[in-house]
Amino acid sequence: MNLLHGLLLGLGTAVLLGPVFMTLLRNSLQYGIKNGILTAIGILSSDVLVVSICYTITGDFLKYYVNSPGVKLLGALILIGFGISFIRSKRTNVHSSTAEMHLNGKWKSFSQGFLVNFANPTVFVIWIGFITIAESDYSASLERVIFLLGILLGIFLTDIAKAIGAHYISNLLTNYNLNYVYLLLGSCLILLGCFLGYQGLISF
């Protein structure tokens, strides 16, 4: 039951729309299903690292990390940088991507998924909440771990579904329309980065 409990919570994160979702959507549209899945694997790898940190590090340190102005500013720079790259990528013809671009996109897809997820302090807050639920609902350490693994699996499955869905949507869109999709995704990332940067500046 603890695995199912975690799986349902993980699947519930499908409704969350943020930098991670936008990065996953763009990479699936730009490079196809395989690169979308690589982005999802990058997100999963980042989540595993975040869970490990949140599960083993003291609460005071995590509170400092989440609220640290420097961390928020760094996250803001990463989001703004990715947003700019998304807007610039709108000039690429996605339906006639070369093999070279496809190969280059694989590493970018994984690293973008990892960095956007890890650099977002909100991800740490969410996982602290999940770990709090695990500690309150399950007394045994193994049960908590299985519960958290269920959440990770649920998130990964929803990310895979988003990648597949985005790819099939891209087949119904023209390059002209996709250019506007990239512009919208990039602009949203820049706005989120500016908001995070503003939070960091007022925290000094």
pLDDT tens digits for 139-172? 888 888 899 999 999 999 998 988 888 877 776 6
Average pLDDT over residues 133-144: 84
CA distance 144 to 2: 8
Predicted pLDDT at 100: 43
User: Among candidates 109, 182, 4, 73, which has minimal Cα distance to 101?
Assistant: 109
Whether pLDDT at 204 is above 70: no
pLDDT at 103: 53
Average pLDDT, the chain: 79
- Give this prediction's pTM: 0.76
Which is more confidently placed, 187 or 17?
A: 187
Q: Which residue has the higher pLDDT, 30 or 132?
A: 132
Q: Which amino acid is at 22?
A: M
Residue 65's closest CA among 126, 113, 124?
124
DSSP 8-class letter at 57: S
Report for 16-20, 82-86, 95-99, 114-118: range of highest mean pLDDT: 114-118
Q: Would you say 141 and 51 are in contact if contact means Cβ atoms under 8 Å apart?
A: no
**d(Cα 124, Cα 43) in Å, to the nearest integer?**
13
pLDDT at 101: 46
Closest CA to 27 of 38, 17, 11: 38
User: For 94, which DSSP code?
Assistant: G
Q: What is the pLDDT of residues 29-48, one digit of tens each?
A: 877 888 889 999 999 999 99
Beta-carbon contacts of residue 175 (< 8 Å; ≥ 6 apart): 93, 94, 95
CA atoms within 13 A on the CB side of 88: 6
What is the pLDDT at residue 63?
Answer: 65
Task: Round to the nearest angstrom and report the end-to-end CA distance of the chain.
Answer: 45
Provide the residue range defining the domain that includes 140.
2-202
The model's confidence at residue 187, banded by pLDDT at 50, 70 and 90, is confident
- Of residues 143 and 180, more confidence is placed in 143
Using alpha carbons, select from 136, 127, 132 the residue that is nearest to residue 155.
127
Measure the CA–CA gap between 203 and 109, rounded to whole angstroms.
32
Q: Looking at residue 203, what DSSP letter applies?
A: T
* Residue 20 identity: V
Domain tally, the chain: 1
